[in-house]
């Protein structure tokens, strides 16, 4: 069972590959459907043209076929006696009063003379000059023409030969379309895997590079830190040693954040459990209440109780922590940091909103807020602590929890909205 679940927990590239296969397959289906539709129309049009031509030839010749040369000329194709023997038809001459003057049943065996007479009356009662009908399940086409002696000639042709031919052609087209579609899907599945493999390998190398580089950088940072502390012991603390220690701490934090995100992105098979989102949010947000108030800002928290979500406890706690910490860092002086957790009755997902007042945020591009290393201030100054990576880590966590996150700005306030 675990192997089966792990198989279906697709990573980003697998989902991208499936989306590509789905789009390509849909495009081929549209093309094949269009070709099939056009083929259907062409075959149907050709069949109807042939039927109408034969009915016209019979009607112009009093319900009989003329000489082969005349038939070939009228139909536009060579005709033989064997060809004519395939056609089954009858004709009837009727007066204005629907009285049958004569019947010709020499070329039809499926119907008796009485049945021909009955159907002739029924067709004449319809009043249409041309049309289709079924007699005992067999398709027929008819044509009524007015004669010089004020009588009407009715010609009824068995068109099952044409419909069966059309059916076989369309059936062949359907099977060919299915085979082509299956072949294309197999080809695109095989080659899409090969095409995307270099990107997958490159992505894995980037993740490994970040992790390995993080471990390698920690050693020289530890040595620099130890040397700085030794210098302070020998010569006392100075602004230079203090600056060095600050930058060491900053670089160490950045490396830890990068490694954390790399590890998050390397575990698409994270086991999600049912957790009390309300309790975790309250616990994580409460830790920031004191610091926010000490900085002269207001702190508001509104958490609906007993909201449960599928997540990993440590990562969920860190998600709330990252969002609230970010709100506190970038909140205006004497502004307000707000944490709200709700779950509407008709919604299946919880809604977490972490917001902070930010009057200068009207012209900020919030669509890029979740990008790694992005700062609203492109100068990348360090007046506000942070590395521009916390929100990117938060987005990675939300993706692991099968949720979504977005950033909005309204009424001088930034809102980070998470759905889980």
pLDDT confidence of residue 269: 55
Choice among 55-59, 306-310, 416-420 with the minimum mean pLDDT: 55-59
Span 178-196, pLDDT tens digits: 888 888 888 888 887 777 7
Q: Nearest 5 degrees, angle CA 10-CA 12-CA 18? A: 65
pLDDT confidence of residue 24: 85
Find which of 78-87, 117-126, 272-281 is predicted with most confidence, using mean pLDDT: 272-281
Kindly report the pTM of this predicted structure: 0.48
H/E element holding 399? Answer: helix 390-400
Of the two residues 393 and 301, the one the predictor is more confident about is 301
Please report the DSSP string for 206-267 in residue order. Answer: HHHHHHHHHHHHHHHHHHHHHHHHHHHHHH---HHHHHHHHHHHHHHHHHHHHHHHHHHHT-
Residue located via tokens 């830890």: 256
- CA-to-CA dists, residue 404 to 285, 415, 420, angstroms: 20, 14, 7
Domain 89-158 and domain 270-419, same fold? Reply is no
Q: What CATH class is the domain 270-419?
A: alpha beta
pLDDT confidence of residue 374: 55
pLDDT of residue 222 exceeding 80: no
Signed CA dihedral, 252, 253, 258, 262: sign only: positive
Phi and psi torsions of 275, nearest 5°: -125, 155
- Mean confidence (pLDDT) of the chain: 80
Span 318-351, pLDDT tens digits: 889 889 988 998 899 999 999 999 998 878 899 9
Q: What CATH class is the domain 89-158?
A: alpha beta
pLDDT of residue 370 exceeding 80: no
pLDDT of residue 388 exceeding 70: no
Domain coordinates in residue numbering, the chain? 89-158, 270-419
């Amino acid at each position: 069972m675990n192997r089966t679940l792990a198989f279906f927990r697709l990573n980003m590239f697998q989902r991208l590959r499936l989306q590509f296969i789905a789009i390509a397959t849909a495009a081929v289906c549209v093309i094949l459907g269009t070709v099939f539709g056009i083929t259907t129309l062409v075959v149907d049009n050709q069949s109807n043209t042939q039927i109408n031509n034969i009915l016209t030839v019979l009607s112009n010749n009093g319900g009989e076929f003329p000489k082969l040369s005349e038939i070939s000329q009228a139909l536009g194709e060579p005709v033989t006696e064997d060809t004519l023997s395939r056609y089954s038809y009858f004709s009837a001459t009727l007066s204005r009063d629907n009285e049958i003057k004569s019947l010709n049943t020499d070329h039809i065996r499926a119907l008796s003379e009485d049945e021909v007479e009955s159907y002739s009356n029924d067709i004449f009662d319809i009043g249409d000059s041309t049309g289709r009908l079924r007699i005992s399940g067999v398709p027929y086409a008819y044509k009524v023409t007015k004669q010089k002696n004020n009588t009407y000639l009715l010609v009824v042709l068995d068109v099952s030969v044409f419909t069966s031919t059309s059916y076989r052609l369309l059936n062949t087209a359907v099977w060919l379309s299915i085979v082509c579609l299956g072949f294309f899907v197999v080809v695109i599945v095989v080659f899409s895997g090969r095409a995307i493999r270099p990107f997958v390998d490159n992505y894995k190398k980037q993740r490994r590079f970040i992790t390995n580089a993080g471990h390698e950088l920690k050693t020289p940072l530890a040595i620099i830190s130890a040397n700085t502390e030794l210098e302070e012991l020998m010569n006392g603390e100075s602004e230079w040693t203090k600056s060095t220690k600050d930058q060491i701490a900053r670089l160490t934090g950045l490396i830890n954040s990068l490694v954390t995100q790399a590890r998050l992105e390397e575990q698409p098979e994270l086991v999600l459990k049912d957790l009390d989102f309300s309790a975790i949010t309250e616990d994580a947000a409460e830790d920031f209440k004191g610091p926010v108030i000490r900085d002269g800002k207001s702190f508001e928290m509104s958490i609906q109780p007993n909201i449960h979500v599928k997540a990993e406890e440590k990562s969920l706690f860190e998600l709330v922590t990252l969002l609230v910490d970010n709100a506190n860092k970038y909140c205006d002086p004497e502004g307000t940091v707000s944490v709200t957790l709700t779950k509407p009755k008709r919604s299946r997902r919880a809604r977490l909103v972490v917001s902070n007042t930010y009057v200068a945020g009207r012209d900020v591009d919030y669509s890029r807020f979740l990008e790694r290393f992005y700062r609203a201030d492109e100068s990348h100054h360090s007046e506000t602590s942070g590395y521009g990576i916390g929100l990117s880590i938060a987005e990675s966590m939300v993706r692991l929890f099968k949720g979504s996150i977005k950033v909005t700005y309204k009424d001088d306030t930034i809102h980070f909205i998470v759905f889980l």
